[in-house]
Amino acid sequence: MKTGNNEHHEYMAQFGFNGLEVGAEGPVSRKNGSSYIFDYSYSSLALFDKFNIQFGTGSAIPKYQDMSFKVNSPTQRSDKSVFSGWVV
């Protein structure tokens, strides 16, 4: 996963055939150059199913969601100190 923008906050949202996705990235501290990046996605067909919109797939509806994040915090000893995760 890429390193988040350490100068400006940026936000993103999109909806497509595969699903709904939202994300954010930006500085945690501009002083030391640390940054974060976050992304969440949810299946569009599962979302439609919640509103009782049928697509002729019967009960075969892909239902998924996931989240990923990364926090980058440079230290005096190292250029990079990273904490990241991925949740399904």
pLDDT digits (tens, 9 = 90+) for 3-60: 899 999 999 999 988 899 999 999 998 888 899 999 999 998 888 888 888 877 777 8
d(CA 52, CA 50): 6
Q: Please say whether the beta carbons of 51 and 37 come within 8 A.
A: no
First-to-final CA distance of the chain = 16
Distances in Å between the Cα of 15 and the Cα atoms of 20, 43, 67, 77 are: 4, 10, 16, 42
pTM, rounded to two decimals: 0.78
